[in-house]
Chain A
Amino acid sequence: MSSESTATDPILPQATDLPPEALALVPPEEKIRLSITTDIKLDGLYGSAWLVATDKRLLAFSPDGSGPPDIVDLPLTEVRSLEIQDLYGSGALKARTQTTGQTVALFSKTLNAQFAPLPEELEKLVRQARPIADDEKILRGRIDRSYLKRRCERCGQVIPRRMGVCPSCLESSKLLNRFLAYSVPYWPLAAASLTILLLGTFIGLTPPLLLRTLIDDVLTPASTSAATAVGLPLLGPTSPSGALAYLVVGLLLINVSRNALGAVRSYLLARLGEQITFDLRRQVYRHLHRLSLNFYNDRDTGRIMASVTHDVGRLQDFLSDGLQETIRNVLTIIIICSLLFYLNAELAAYVLLPTPLIVLVTIRFGKLLHRIYTPLWRRWAGISALLADVIPGVRVVKAFAQEHREVDKFESRSQSLLEGELRAARTRSLFSPLMSFLTSLGTLIIWWVGGNKVLGQSMSLGEFIAFTSYMWQFYGPVESLCRLNHRFQRAATSAERVFEVLDSQPDVDDHPGAGQLPAIDGRVEFRNVSFAYEAGKPVISDLSFTVEPGEMIGLAGHSGAGKSTLINLICRFYEVDEGAVLVDGRDIREVQLRSLRDQVGVVLQEPFLFNGSVADNIAYGKPEASLNEIIAAAMAANAHDFICALPDGYDSLVGERAVRLSGGERQRLSIARAILRDPRVLILDEATASMDTETEAQIQEALARLVKGRTTFAIAHRLSTLRNADRLFIIEKGRLEEMGTHDELVSLDGIYARLVHMQTEMSRIRAL
C-alpha cells in the first residue's frame, strides 16, 4: 500500500488521456507528478493539449494539425515565475526563466476551476527542485472565481439562473415527500380530505350507469316481456313511471351529495394547505432571522424574499390543487377503465386503443408549445425591461429630448412581438384542432363498433350511451396527467429552494453554554484577529489593539482597507478566523449574541427606517420605552424640532409610502434610535458621509452628545469629522498601520498625513 506517499503528497490532477507522444517526452527516471488536459492548443485553436510536470521539468505538449506538435520543455530549476493570465474569454499560464518566457497552456474559462489551484501546485514542485528565497515571488495573477458557482458542485451541470438549484440533482420525490411530511401533524384532516375525495370521485362517476338503467329498463322496456313491471334494486317491481321517478330522485341525490362532498373537500384541502404553508412560511421566516449576514451576502434579496412568498405559495398550490387533482385523475381513470371493461370488455379494448397515441401527442404538443412560447416570452420580457428602464428615467429622456427615439425603440420591439405572436397563433390554430380530432377518435370507434353491436343486439342501447358518456370523461384526466411531470418538477424546485434556506446553518450562533454578557464598561480588545470573507483573501490580518471604556476611536484608511469589517467583527456579524475579540475581557464568542448586541449601538451611513411612526422607529431597539424617553432621545439627536413640525408629530408615518424625510432627518432619527438604547459601545459607520455641511454640523452636535461616556468607533472618509477622536487608527490592507492623535499622526508624516493633505487639496478644488 502506498498510504505513506499519499499522506505526504496531496492528490494532484492527473490527465487520463495523455497521448504516447507526450509520454515519450518524459525521461524514464522521472515521475509524473501532475498532468492536465486543456481545451485550447498553443496555436489558439480548440483541441486537447497537455501540461505535464515531473519532479524535474515542466512539459507542454500541443498537437498542431498536420505539422509537428508544439513542445515546451522547461527544467523546473530554471523557472523564475509562473503567471496565470485571466484574459477576455480564455486564460493562459505563462512561465518565465531568467532569459525567456513562454506560454505553456491556454484554456477556456470552462477549465477555470481545474486551473485555479494549478500554479500553487507547480510552485511546490519548483520549490522541491530548487530553493526559493522567502521574498522571491513566483506566482503572479489569479483566476476570477465568480463563474465557478454557476455549475453544480455535485454533477458539474450548469445551474439555471432562475432556479438557483441543480435540476439534475433535484430528487423530486424525496423533496416532495419531505414537504408532505409537514401534513403529518394534521393527519385527521388529511385523512378526512382523502376519504371525501375518494367518495366524491366515485359518486361523480355513477350518472352514466343510471342513464343505462333509464334507457334500457325504463324508457325502452324489452318488447318480449309483456309485463310492464320493471325490476329495480331495493324497490322490487314497479311501474315505468315509478321507476323514472326513482331514477330522477337518485340522480338528484347523486348530484346533491357530489356537490356537497366537493364543497367539503375543497374546504378541507384548502384548510390543510393553508395550515401547512403557514407552518412552513413561519419556519422559513424564523430561520431567515437566525441566519448570519454571510447567508444574505451570498444571495440576492429578491431570491430570498421569493422563497418566503413565491416558493411557499407554489407549494401550497401543489398541495391543495395539483396533488388532489392528480389523485382524482388517477382514480377517475382507474374507475372508468374498470367500468368500461365491466360494461363490455371487447368494446373497452377497442376504445382504449388510441390512448397511447393521445398521450404521445399531448406530450409532443406540450413541448412544441413550450418551444413556440419561449421566444415569445423572451420578447415580452424585452418589452417589460424597456418599460422598466425608460419610465423611471423619463426625466432624462425629456431633458435630452429623446422621446421620439424611445417611441421608435418600443415600436420595433412591439413589432417583433407581433410577428412572434402571429407565428405562435398559426401553430396553435393548427394543433388544437388536431388534438380534439384525436380525442374524438375514441368516440368514432364506439359509434362504429358499438353501434354495430347494438344493431346486432349483442349490446343494449343503454350500455352504448353509458359507454359514450364515460369516453367523454376519460380523456380530460389523461391529458392532465401528461402535464403532471412539469407540475411536479416545478413544485420540487420550489421545495428545494425552501429547504435550502431551512438547511442553511447560521455561521454565527450561540455556543452551547454561552452565558449572558453582564452590563459592560466598554473595554474592547482585538487579540491577533484575522478574518477573510473568502478563503485566501484576508481582509483583517493579525490585528491587535485595546480600547479603554469611554474612548473615541476614529477609523480611517482607504476604502476596502477593512474598516467596516472591523466593525462587523465587533458586532459579531461574522466569526473571526483566528484570534479573538474581547469585550470587558470576555471573548464575545462565549456570550449570548443578544446580550452582546443589546449593548452595542450602530448608526449607519444609510439610515434605514421601517414602515411605522416616527416614535416606533425611535423605539425600535427598545419597544417598551416611555414617551418621555422617546422625546428625550429625539432631543438629544437634534430631531425634536423637525418632528414637531411634521403634521402628525411623533405619530407621522415614515418609510416607503409615507412622509419623505431628508437624508439628514432620517439620520437624526437613526441617532435617536441608537441613543435610546443607551449602548456602552457605539459604532458610527460613515454616519455623516452623505450630508451637506450644515446638516452635518447638526448631526455632529448630536453625535457629540451621543458619544459622551461611551466607547465609540467612528468611520469617516471626511477626516475633519474625526477631530474629536481620542485616538485615530489608520487601517491599511487589514493591518493597523498608524495609531495616535491627529497631531501625532500628522507629524509622523505617514498614510494619515497623506490622506489629510489630499483632502485639503480636494476642498480647494471644490472651492473653485
Chain B
Amino acid sequence: MKKPYALTDELNLLDAGTTYLYRDEFDDLVVKIAEAEPVCNVRVVRCFPISAGGRFIALHDNKDEELGVIADINALDSDSREVLADALARTYFRPQITAVYAITEEHHIPRWQVATDRGSRTFEIRSSRRDIRVLPQGRVLIRDADGNQYEIVDYRRLDSASLALVENQV
C-alpha cells in the first residue's frame, strides 16, 4: 500500500547509526554513509547556527552539494561526535564574551575591550542597531566591523561593571 505523503518525507536525514565521521591523513573531514563510498573533504553547515548549533547539521561535499543532514549530533557514536564537534568549532569561530572591560566611543564607533573564552580581544562595531542582536534570555550576538562574531550567553549575568557597559549598548 502506498504511504500517504508526509511533509517530513522531504527531509534528507542521515541515519546516525550508520553515519561515521573521521579525519583522513590530510586532516580533512570524511563521512561514510551506510554502505556508500566515503566522501572526502566534507564541509559542515549548521542549519540553525544560532538557535540550535548541535542539531540539523548539513554535510556538503567539495562541490557544495548536500550529502544529507545529521538531525542530532548526540545520536552519533562517540568518535564521530567528537570529530563533528571539532569540525563545527573550527568552522564556526564565535568566542563567548565573559567580561567587558571598557566600551569607548570615538566618532560614534564603539570600541569594546573584552575577555572571551578564547582570550582577550578588542573590536569595533559599526552600527549598534544592526550589528548587535539581542535574543531572548539575555543572549547577545555581536558582529564587529570586520565580520568577526562574538556571543554573550546571558548579558544579565555578567559582573555588574560589564553589565552597566553592555546595557547602554543593547
User: Chain A: residues with CB nearer than 8 A to chain B?
Assistant: 40, 44-47, 87-90, 92, 94, 96, 99-103, 108-110, 112, 144, 147, 150-151, 157-163, 167-168, 371, 374-375, 378, 381-382
Contacts and interface: CB of A to CB of B under 8 A. Distances in A.
A162 B147 contact: no
Nearest to A159: B126
B119 A381 contact: no
A602 B159 CA distance: 63
A378 B125 CA distance: 15
Contact of B91 (A88, A108, A162, A374): A88
Question: Of residues B26, B95, B119, B121, which shows the largest number of chain A Cβ atoms within 10 Å of its Cβ?
Answer: B26
B168 A375 contact: yes
Given A87-B92, A112-B146, A162 B124 contact: no
Interface string B91-112: 1111100000000001111000
Contacts of A161: 126-127, 130
Contacts of A108: 93, 146, 148
Contacts of A157: 107, 109
B94 A89 contact: yes
Interface string B133-166: 0000000000011111100000000000000000
B146 A150 contact: yes
A747 to B, nearest CB: 30
Contact of A110 (B90, B95, B120, B148): B148
B118 interface: yes
B10 to A, nearest CB: 17
Contacts of A112: 146-147
Nearest to A43: B118
Given A88-B94, A101-B25, A150 B129 contact: no
A223 B120 CA distance: 80
Given A87-B93, A161-B127, A102 B27 contact: yes
Interface string B55-99: 000000000000000000000000000000000011111110000
B113 interface: no
B19 interface: no
A559 B144 CA distance: 33
Interface of B is mostly: loop
A699 to B, nearest CB: 38
Cβ-closest 7 pairs across A and B: A101-B26, A46-B119, A167-B107, A90-B93, A89-B93, A158-B145, A109-B147
A160 B26 contact: no
Contacts of A103: 27
B147 A147 contact: yes
- Chain B: number of interface residues, binned into ranges: 35 or more
Nearest to A168: B107
B119 A45 contact: yes
Contacts of B107: 157, 160, 163, 167-168
A94 B90 CA distance: 12
A46 B121 contact: yes
Given A87-B91, A87-B93, A158-B109, A147 B26 contact: no
A110 B146 contact: yes
Given A45-B119, A92-B90, A147-B147, 19 more contacts: A44-B118, A46-B119, A88-B92, A88-B94, A94-B27, A101-B25, A101-B28, A108-B93, A110-B146, A147-B146, A150-B146, A151-B146, A157-B107, A157-B109, A158-B126, A167-B109, A371-B168, A374-B168, A382-B129
Contacts of A99: 25
Nearest to B111: A158
25 contacts: A46-B118, A87-B92, A87-B93, A88-B94, A88-B149, A89-B93, A89-B94, A90-B148, A94-B27, A100-B26, A100-B27, A101-B26, A103-B27, A109-B148, A147-B146, A158-B109, A158-B126, A158-B145, A160-B107, A161-B130, A162-B108, A162-B127, A167-B108, A371-B168, A381-B129
A167 B105 CA distance: 12
A150 B145 contact: yes
Question: Of residues A46, A100, A102, A144, which shows the largest number of chain B Cβ atoms within 10 Å of its Cβ?
Answer: A46
Contacts of B148: 89-90, 108-110
B146 to A, nearest CB: 4
Contacts of B109: 157-158, 160, 167
B132 to A, nearest CB: 9
B130 A158 contact: no
B110 to A, nearest CB: 10
Contacts of A102: 27
Question: Of residues B89, B149, B170, which shows the largest number of chain A Cβ atoms within 10 Å of its Cβ?
Answer: B149
Contacts of A371: 168
Contacts of A158: 109, 124, 126, 145
B49 interface: yes
Contacts of A162: 108, 127
Contact of A44 (B90, B121, B127, B147): B90
B128 to A, nearest CB: 6
